[in-house]
Amino acid sequence: MSYTIMNKEKHILITGFGGQGVIMAGDILGTAATLYDGKFATMTQAYGPEARGGACSAQIIISEEEVLFPYVKEPHVLICLSQEGYAKNIGSLREGGMLILDADLIQARKISSDIIAYDIPATRFAEELGNKMMANIVTLGFLAAVYNLVGAEALRKAVQTSVPAPTREMNSRAFERGSEYGKATLKSRAKQGRLARD
């Protein structure tokens, strides 16, 4: 069965391993789109043989219209939090797509010039904030700053309603750390004449 991606859809693939909060990140992104940004969204998830430590991924589609096919084949945005996830999925990223890597966990090969590539030390930032498990939230903050996918405020609200109440303040700091890094990265690239896509 062939499927043509509608112009109003954005396809996102988040990859990593169990325990990094990959599925939670996908769920937060979908929640932000549907509950707080007035859009449609779907999410599918996949796990390796082990829940923790095995490969996992979240496929999210965000659209202005109802989503008819929930699987991501050629993502507009590929977020990689593990070397295995990067190696397995880099070939699927569509021309002109965006790649976001955890800088300390992934060694990327030469990236095509038609891909917008970013790296962020998300796990390191999360560790500095007190819990490396928040790397997923750091990455969402970064995504909100560099890509116009859902509103940043919608994503903030989704983080707050999705994480356990005792961790909300810490997760909020993680989101803002990623967002600040994203904004600083965009400023730096703008000075060099390298602009991000909407």
pLDDT in the model for residue 52: 58
The single residue listed with the structure tokens 């976001």 is: 100
pLDDT in the model for residue 194: 54
Whole-number CA gyration radius for the chain: 16
pLDDT tens digits along 127-177 = 999 999 999 999 999 999 999 899 999 999 999 999 999 999 999 999 999
Tokens describing residue 98: 């965006």
The DSSP code for 155 is H
Cα diameter, the chain: 47
Q: How far apart are CA 128 and CA 9, in angstroms?
A: 35
Whole-structure pTM over 0.85, yes or no?
A: yes
The two beta strands, 40-47 and 55-63, are: antiparallel
Residue 77 pLDDT level (bands cut at 50, 70, 90): very high
Q: What CATH number has the domain spanning 9-191?
A: 3.40.920.10
Residue 122 pLDDT more than 90?
yes
Could you state, in order of their start, the residue ranges of all structural domains in the chain? 9-191
The DSSP code for 32 is I
pLDDT tens digits along 8-65 = 899 999 999 988 999 999 999 999 999 999 999 999 998 765 455 678 999 999 999 9
